[in-house]
A and B are shown apart, each in its own frame.
Chain A
Amino acid sequence: MWHVIASEWLKFRSLRSNLYLLASSLISILLCVGVAYLVSRGFDGQSAEDRLRFTSLGAGLGTGLPVAYFIVGALGALSITHEHASGQIRTSLTVVSKRQLLLFAKVPALALITLVAGQILVFGMHFATQAVLGDRAEQVVGGGRALGPSLGDPGVAAELLTAGAIMPLIAMVGLGVGALIRSTAGSLVTLVMILLVLPIVSGALPTPWRSRISSVMIESLPTQIASGEGTGVFALLLSPLAAAAALIAYPVVALTAGAVATAVRGRRIRPLVVGGLITALLATVIAISPGAGAGSLAWQPHHSSVEVPVAT
């Protein structure tokens, strides 16, 4: 088993396209810079009173994070769809004839790389936002939070670490989707749906469903885990434990689907049962875990008064 894991590490490392893709994830930091710049310009043009109506940029991840998630997910998907596209998969399965082993041996290398890359990215996004905001970061805006809370402020470091730590899980989602769909284009479209489109669609649902569905979307889970606090449409519905269970359910479901699709026909029951049981366990945790104060969520006054500032 260790041999196969080491081999997958070599395979990942020896493809230049993986390095390019990792490098392209820096776009997420640029996006944060761009948003922070626009907010700064708008902020400067407002009176002191109006400035109070700005929304805090939080840890500074906002716009960049979904992009970073997508690139990391793509990295996971490509690690298997590349093999299908080139035919390398047949060579790989000839030298490692245990199919599940080949699939899961990709996990450690992917996890390690995306964990490191993820932490670099989220801290990069945070510091880039801070740098662009400059002195404005400390100014108090709507809800009594600073425009750009610094690393020392409560919850910020935890949110960053959580958001970064989630990257490997997103990569696993990508790997599972890739193993299931096999085509690069199809996998990437599916990832866009899961990571970018579904959160938007769920935000447009009618009320009880809007917050229920939104609260289990990947991008809303880090905040719920880190601070036990949801913002905006991702109003708090899940306890940190339930949010963590929901988050783990994503790669579990994706990898189960991938493992079942990878298995030789006639051997598909076992991965299906194992993955199904873990998913059921996680679903139970989400269901019985006390809904973290459904009563308190919508009435947090600072959230109800938030308005989106328009830079003029």
Chain B
Amino acid sequence: MRYRDKLAVDDLTFSVKPGIVTGFLGPNGAGKSTTMRMILGLEVPDRGTALIGGTPYTSVKTPMRMVGALLDAGDVHGGRTAAAHLWSLARSNGLARARVAEVLETVGLTEAADRRIGGFSLGMRQRLGIAAALLGDPGVLMFDEPINGLDPEGIRWARELMRRLADEGRTVLVSSHLMNEMALTADHVVVIGRGRLIADTTMVELAERYQRGVLVRATDQWTLTEVLRSGGATVREEDGALSVSGMDAGRIGELALARGIALRELTPRNASLEEAFMELTEDSVEYTTRRAA
């Protein structure tokens, strides 16, 4: 997918599974929104396809029953009331009017149903957009940066809602540029940078991949170093403690016990997901620069 000369999304392939929340991550301008728009048929890729349950989105007769999407909470006419907006959307897909009140209740906007959207805060608009996505009770949900503008209580609510939707067996794809937020919400992550796929993995794997050894403090660090090295680990001194890699915390504890060395600290260290994310996307930048040269 190109915009004039700018390559926005390039040769990107991934699939999203039901029953879990999939985080869709990438820095600003990575192509997350463009990818979502292509899935919804708002953009046409130069080649390749985006299929939902095996069919292209645009060939579905009542798409709201299959996919609920929130792309940009601002994509609404401010002159309509929340209820009128939702009812006009529901009507276009032949959905029952009762759904309007139901989804308003779900997102906590019942009180604001008859107010004009123009007067809504960004957080309220996000809730309204989520409500619109839920109207058709779809099996697939896509949210583009849904927590933007939500207050802490709203963020927690959105997180719980997404987990609940996934637990109900739905497919949930949530984009974000905030890794830490995704760490709390998503089970699986798809990371892209400059329109290319960087990682498509589970949260757990991602955390493991960025493990940075074990920090050990002991009464007799000199002996312990010898013991661990002979056990095959790499040991480095760090601020009066030992940084051990190539051996897990359990094994270190066992070896220390066998030699009667008391441990004062034993901490497996993970890079924060934020750092992992930075590292991942940094690579993508390097990659494209090399390619251009």
Contact indicator A14/B93 (Cβ below 8 Å) = no
The digit string for A162-206, where 1 denotes a CB below 8 A from any CB of B, is 000000000000000000000000000000000000000000000
Residue A269 lies at the interface, judged by CB distance under 8 Å to chain B: no
Residue A207 lies at the interface, judged by CB distance under 8 Å to chain B: no
Contact indicator B72/A87 (Cβ below 8 Å) = yes
Which residues of the other chain, A, contact B91 by a CB distance below 8 angstroms?
3, 6-7, 10
Asked whether A3 and B44 contact (CB < 8 A) given A10-B87, A86-B75, A86-B76, the answer is: no
Asked whether A97 and B93 contact (CB < 8 A) given A16-B79, A86-B78, A90-B75, the answer is: no
- The one of B64, B74, B79, B87 in contact with A95, judged by C-beta atoms closer than 8 angstroms, is B64
> Within A1-57, which residues are at the interface with B (CB < 8 Å)?
3-4, 6-8, 10-11, 14-17
The digit string for B113-145, where 1 denotes a CB below 8 A from any CB of A, is 000000000000000000010000000000000
CA distance A97 to B79 in the complex (A): 23
Which residues of the other chain, B, contact A11 by a CB distance below 8 angstroms?
80, 88
Which residues of the other chain, A, contact B81 by a CB distance below 8 angstroms?
14
Residues of A in contact, count (CB < 8 Å)? 29
Contact indicator B69/A94 (Cβ below 8 Å) = yes
The digit string for B75-110, where 1 denotes a CB below 8 A from any CB of A, is 111111100110111011110000000000000000
| Cβ-Cβ contact count across A and B, 8 Å cutoff | 81
Which residues of the other chain, A, contact B64 by a CB distance below 8 angstroms?
95
CA distance A266 to B41 in the complex (A): 13
The stretch that binds A, out of B55-63, B167-175, B195-203, B235-243, is B55-63
Asked whether A7 and B88 contact (CB < 8 A) given A88-B77, A90-B72, A91-B132, the answer is: yes
Distance between A17 CB and nearest chain B CB, rounded to angstroms:
6
Which residues of the other chain, A, contact B58 by a CB distance below 8 angstroms?
97-98
Q: Chain B's interface: helix, strand, loop or mixed, by majority?
A: loop
Residues of B in contact, count (CB < 8 Å)? 31
Contact indicator B76/A7 (Cβ below 8 Å) = no
CA distance A157 to B58 in the complex (A): 48
Contact indicator A87/B76 (Cβ below 8 Å) = yes
Residue B224 lies at the interface, judged by CB distance under 8 Å to chain A: no
Which residues of the other chain, B, contact A266 by a CB distance below 8 angstroms?
44
Residue B204 lies at the interface, judged by CB distance under 8 Å to chain A: no
Contact indicator A95/B92 (Cβ below 8 Å) = yes
Which residues of the other chain, A, contact B44 by a CB distance below 8 angstroms?
264-266
CA distance A7 to B76 in the complex (A): 15
Distance between A13 CB and nearest chain B CB, rounded to angstroms:
8
Contact indicator A83/B77 (Cβ below 8 Å) = yes
Which residues of the other chain, A, contact B87 by a CB distance below 8 angstroms?
10, 14
CA distance A123 to B91 in the complex (A): 35
Contact indicator A4/B92 (Cβ below 8 Å) = yes
Asked whether A17 and B89 contact (CB < 8 A) given A3-B94, A87-B72, A94-B42, the answer is: no
Which residues of the other chain, B, contact A298 by a CB distance below 8 angstroms?
none
Residue A287 lies at the interface, judged by CB distance under 8 Å to chain B: no
Which residues of the other chain, A, contact B88 by a CB distance below 8 angstroms?
7, 10-11, 14
CA distance A99 to B216 in the complex (A): 63
Which residues of the other chain, A, contact B93 by a CB distance below 8 angstroms?
3, 95-96
Residue A281 lies at the interface, judged by CB distance under 8 Å to chain B: no
- The one of B41, B42, B92 in contact with A3, judged by C-beta atoms closer than 8 angstroms, is B92
Which residues of the other chain, B, contact A86 by a CB distance below 8 angstroms?
75-78
Which residues of the other chain, A, contact B60 by a CB distance below 8 angstroms?
97
Residue B182 lies at the interface, judged by CB distance under 8 Å to chain A: no
Distance between B164 CB and nearest chain A CB, rounded to angstroms:
23
Which residues of the other chain, A, contact B80 by a CB distance below 8 angstroms?
11, 14-15
Residue B252 lies at the interface, judged by CB distance under 8 Å to chain A: no
Residue B71 lies at the interface, judged by CB distance under 8 Å to chain A: yes
6 A-B pairs besides A3-B91, A86-B75, A87-B72 with CB distance below 8 A are A7-B92, A10-B88, A88-B75, A88-B76, A91-B76, A95-B64
Report which B residues bind A (CB closer than 8 A).
40-42, 44, 57-58, 60, 62-64, 69, 71-72, 74-81, 84-85, 87-89, 91-94, 132
List 6 tightest A-B contacts by C-beta distance, closest first. A7-B92, A14-B84, A87-B75, A7-B91, A10-B88, A97-B58
**Could you list 7 examples of A-B contacts with CB < 8 Å?**
A10-B88, A14-B79, A14-B81, A14-B87, A91-B89, A97-B58, A98-B58
